[in-house]
Structure 1
Amino acid sequence: MKMRKFCLLGSFCLFLATICSAASPKKIRSGEIWPDNHGVHINAHGGGMLYHDGVYYWYGENKSDTTSNAMVGIMCYSSSNLTDWKNEGVALSVVKDDENSDIVPGCIMERPKVIYNAKTSKFVMWFHLELKGKGYEAARSAVAVADCPTGPFQYIRSERINAGKLPFDMTAAQRAELDTLDADKYQEWWTPAWHEAIHKGLFVKRDLPGGQMARDMQLFVDDDGKAYHIYSSEDNLTLQIAELSEDFLSHTGKYVRVAPVGHNEAPALFKTSEGTYWMITSGCTGWAPNEARMFSAPSIWGPWTQHPNPCRGPKSEITFGGQSTYVLPMPGKKDAFIFMADIWRPKHPSDARYIWLPVQFEQGIPYVEWMDSWSLDFFDKK
């Protein structure tokens, strides 16, 4: 009888805990340790989020204690509420038994993003890849595919982007001027003449035969189901936005340049209900944080207009100590988004922390304000 009473009491306490949890969502505290279901700090850096069939899937780089190079691969975590996370394991593993693979231990696998293709019923992952032992010279994009959101993902290939293709919006006059640019005349970087040549497409021309460079990256699926790859190109001097093929596994050759010579990386793109595209980026200062930038456009193809730093509050001038990785639209809610960023710790990469803050609007312009803690019911109070 005592055991039965104990079980009933335990069930009642669990019921009360469930009600309290539902009534008071857990707090999100940026910069703190975020444990998974095993009590271990979530190891999914530079990542992105996929919402599929009522579940959030968080993909990110597995960072070791002493190196930012890929020694494990790309992780996946799942959650139904964005605060309780289950470690689903390695979604795409480095290849240890084939030294000729692109993704051997010690390569660089960064900024993984996964999107779902409703036509093929496949989950498609793209990420920035650098080959082992070659620093950041490869500047490739890599693609993998899976039948299940948790993987395992099958690695397909890595490549530069849109070889032999010029931006589709480049006019005939601009193409003719491109032909006159001679790289030998611009050996010295950062001069006014060099800046002007880069703006006109000097590095686009340089990389035309082998394809455009792509480092920090983002994926975006628009309302019509078309997908786009946004990436830092031209030695991180210019952002490019490229259309993906119908199956999301390659590029169509259609792309544009955004903010030439602006030195932007870490793009995080989202779209509001009235049809405006917004993109938060960072400057290029290595692992050190810097002031965020923001752009908007009436079309994915532009024209893109730069706005002031969207961050407000303590350390807003250095993006609260972090760097943008993704902006998550909240399903079923109008113009509700979460800004996601990483606080990098290059001396102890696995201890990098996360910043998640709600995107707010003032006269239609997004901004991100620091909060020590907040919960998802913030969006219910708007």
Structure 2
Amino acid sequence: SAPWINPPCACQPERMSGGSMAMGARSKHHPKSLALRCYCYAASHRSLTLLVWGLAALVVLLNFHLLVTHGKDDQSGRPREIHRAILRELEVVEEERFQVTPARSRRNPRAVRRKGEHTKPLSVVDEFLDESSAVHDMFFPEPRTAIDPVHGGNDSMYFYHPGRVWLDTDGKPIQAHGGGVLYDERTETYFWYGENKDGKTYKAHSKGADRVDIVGVSCYSSKDLWAWKNEGVVLRGEKKNVTHDLHVSNVLERPKVIYNDRTGKYVMWMHIDDANYTKASVGVAVSDSPTGPFSYLYSKRPHDCESRDMTIFKDDNGKAYLIYSSEDNSELHIGQLTDDYLDVTDDMRRFLIAQHREAPSLFKFDGTYYMITSGCTGWAPNTALAHAATSVMGPWETLGSPCVGGNDIFRSTTFFSQSTFVLPLRGLRGSFIFMADRWNPSDLRDSRYVWLPLTVGGVPDEAADYSFMFPLWSRVSIYWHRRWRLPEGWTDS
């Protein structure tokens, strides 16, 4: 008989066909049957209890196995302890002493009162965005402190200084905002693509966003991710044809490039818009070389949906995906690209619905997909969130803020920056560079780069929605440093 089907226990009253209670009769005439039935009842309950505890133990073991799997040695066979020793320098928690009360503004207080401005004290973010504020200068250091790969001196070689001006090998500020990095296997070279904002900042109209006319997409090349050679503008804006997507009066943002192994083409996707951000489309360009020139093909609304902040992601199996903010930036969409990477397929999923996230940056580690997003607050910085999924198409779950170090203000503003890309470090398994922009809306050409170490490992701060409070995902951590560099020998560690 099936162990899950319990016969009526003789310990409980039974009704005879006539409706009379037969407990006394059964107890008097069938004592062995009563004992047997009570024994079966108790045994079935013990089995159910053992089953519940067994399932709980199985879940615990499964989660323990997942955590151990994330910490396994890499394919080279080097012990985890050695790997952790290499990363220890990157994972130092560096605190910041920052005065919560904003520093005194240099603006004339009489003029402020006359204009009726600021009826309540300015927040730190307000002061950060105001070019006349002393707080602003703290986060946009003078050009004389620039990162200079040619004339920096041995004591500053290979050090990243988040927020400082970053010079290329020609001694000019790098112009690659909202961009991403492609590692080209054929040339063993990194290529950094981004918006060239080397123009005047202005407003298209009184209520419009701060903008710069389209210059184009810049490309820089490097062997060490620190000294970058300017390869020029590989996709230029259009000056004459006012109907062209790339006319200087329009918007070109967040360019990303991936290589198609089947066609041998380098494919660029980007956010294309008009000055009022009503076009909300993606644009596609293609080239035979990572240094261009790229030929612009077309723009469209993917899946007939609005698309603003976006990125693309190439998986290990060669399949590629477009991730974009849609529905007035209230949700994110992800869709697979065609085999030639020149269009989207009909396969699309919506996620983080009603969460109002943008600036997606997707990466992968140990078979799990991770993503960093920002909130939607214009040029103002806000709190980043990390997300995870076992399938690139979702479902996606939120892990909480990935920011470590600094202080509460730094962490709540993603170190006063916005995500744009997460770059895997080829020699350091589980380690990445978090790439972000520190926007300067009053002078967009002077926006700065915030590159920081990102690692995957440990337990996240928040339990995922469907994890039953067990840590199914590893924590994503972005560590704040005023100055840092990659460990020596990271390319072959």
The CA distance in 2 between the partners of 1:155 and 1:217, in whole Å, is 18
Is structure 2 residue 267 aligned with structure 1 residue 124? yes
Is structure 2 residue 181 aligned with structure 1 residue 49? yes
The CA distance in 2 between the partners of 1:81 and 1:106, in whole Å, is 36
Q: How big is each residue's C-alpha offset from its partner over 1:322-344, in whole Å with a ceiling of 9 and x where there is no partner?
A: 00000001124322211000000
Q: What is the CA-CA distance between 1:295 and the residue it aligns to?
A: 0.7
Q: How big is each residue's C-alpha offset from its partner over 1:50-87, in whole Å with a ceiling of 9 and x where there is no partner?
A: 11031111111111242433331111111111111111
The CA distance in 2 between the partners of 1:352 and 1:66, in whole Å, is 11
Aligned to 1:297: 389
The CA distance in 2 between the partners of 1:23 and 1:50, in whole Å, is 29
The CA distance in 2 between the partners of 1:120 and 1:325, in whole Å, is 27
Pick the aligned partner of 2:418 from 323, 344, 347. 323
Aligned to 2:215: 72
Mapped contact 2:189–2:223 kept (Cα < 8 A): yes
What letter corresponds to residue 124 of structure 1 in structure 2?
V
The CA distance in 2 between the partners of 1:248 and 1:58, in whole Å, is 19
Mapped contact 1:60–1:112 kept (Cα < 8 A): yes
Pick the aligned partner of 2:485 from 360, 375, 378. 375
Q: How big is each residue's C-alpha offset from its partner over 1:195-251, in whole Å with a ceiling of 9 and x where there is no partner?
A: xxxxxxxxxxxxxxxx11111111100010000001111110000111000000001
Is structure 2 residue 352 aligned with structure 1 residue 259? yes
Q: How big is each residue's C-alpha offset from its partner over 1:145-202, in whole Å with a ceiling of 9 and x where there is no partner?
A: 001101110000000012xxxxxxxxxxxxxxxxxxxxxxxxxxxxxxxxxxxxxxxx
SS state of the match for residue 413, structure 2?
A: helix
Pick the aligned partner of 2:287 from 142, 146, 162. 146
Q: What is the CA-CA distance between 1:362 and the residue it aligns to?
A: 3.9
Report the identity percentage.
Answer: 47
Aligned to 2:476: 366
Mapped contact 2:212–2:444 kept (Cα < 8 A): no
Pick the aligned partner of 1:100 from 213, 226, 243. 243
Aligned to 2:112: none
Aligned to 1:281: 373
Pick the aligned partner of 1:357 from 442, 447, 452. 452
What letter corresponds to residue 157 of structure 1 in structure 2?
Y
Q: How big is each residue's C-alpha offset from its partner over 1:19-55, in whole Å with a ceiling of 9 and x where there is no partner?
A: xx99996111110010012211101100011110311
Mapped contact 2:214–2:246 kept (Cα < 8 A): no
More strand by share: 1
Distance change >3 Å, CA 245–CA 333, structure 1 → 2: same
The CA distance in 2 between the partners of 1:62 and 1:321, in whole Å, is 21
**After superposition, where does 1:160-179 map in structure 2 within 5 Å?**
160-162=301-303
What letter corresponds to residue 282 of structure 2 in structure 1?
S
Aligned to 2:429: 334
Distance change >3 Å, CA 22–CA 334, structure 1 → 2: farther
Aligned to 1:347: 442
Mapped contact 2:431–2:456 kept (Cα < 8 A): no
The CA distance in 2 between the partners of 1:286 and 1:269, in whole Å, is 21
Question: Normalised by the size of structure 1, how large is the TM-score?
Answer: 0.78
Mapped contact 1:336–1:379 kept (Cα < 8 A): no
Can you give the 5+ residue segments of structure 1 that lack an aligned partner in the other structure? 1-17, 163-210
Pick the aligned partner of 1:26 from 147, 158, 174. 158
SS state of the match for residue 445, structure 2?
A: helix
Aligned to 2:41: none
Mapped contact 1:329–1:337 kept (Cα < 8 A): yes
What letter corresponds to residue 297 of structure 1 in structure 2?
A
Pick the aligned partner of 2:337 from 224, 244, 247. 244
Can you give the 5+ residue segments of structure 2 that lack an aligned partner in the other structure? 1-149, 203-210, 459-473
Pick the aligned partner of 1:82 from 225, 230, 235. 225
Mapped contact 2:214–2:252 kept (Cα < 8 A): no
CA RMSD of aligned residues (A): 2.1
Aligned to 1:59: 193
Mapped contact 1:62–1:70 kept (Cα < 8 A): no
The CA distance in 2 between the partners of 1:100 and 1:260, in whole Å, is 34
Aligned to 2:171: 39
**After superposition, where does 1:208-227 map in structure 2 within 5 Å?**
211-227=304-320
What letter corresponds to residue 383 of structure 2 in structure 1?
E
SS state of the match for residue 167, structure 2?
A: coil
SS state of the match for residue 120, structure 1?
A: coil
Aligned residues: 313
SS state of the match for residue 269, structure 1?
A: strand
Mapped contact 1:325–1:342 kept (Cα < 8 A): yes
The CA distance in 2 between the partners of 1:125 and 1:33, in whole Å, is 26
Mapped contact 1:79–1:86 kept (Cα < 8 A): yes
Mapped contact 2:234–2:293 kept (Cα < 8 A): yes
Runs of 4+ in 1 over 4 A off after TM superposition: 21-25, 378-382
Distance change >3 Å, CA 112–CA 82, structure 1 → 2: same
The CA distance in 2 between the partners of 1:264 and 1:95, in whole Å, is 31
Q: What is the CA-CA distance between 1:99 and the residue it aligns to?
A: 2.3
What letter corresponds to residue 324 of structure 1 in structure 2?
S
SS state of the match for residue 101, structure 1?
A: coil
Distance change >3 Å, CA 79–CA 66, structure 1 → 2: same
Q: What is the CA-CA distance between 1:294 and the residue it aligns to?
A: 1.1
What letter corresponds to residue 201 of structure 2 in structure 1?
T
Q: How big is each residue's C-alpha offset from its partner over 1:107-133, in whole Å with a ceiling of 9 and x where there is no partner?
A: 1000000000011000000000112xx
Mapped contact 1:270–1:279 kept (Cα < 8 A): yes
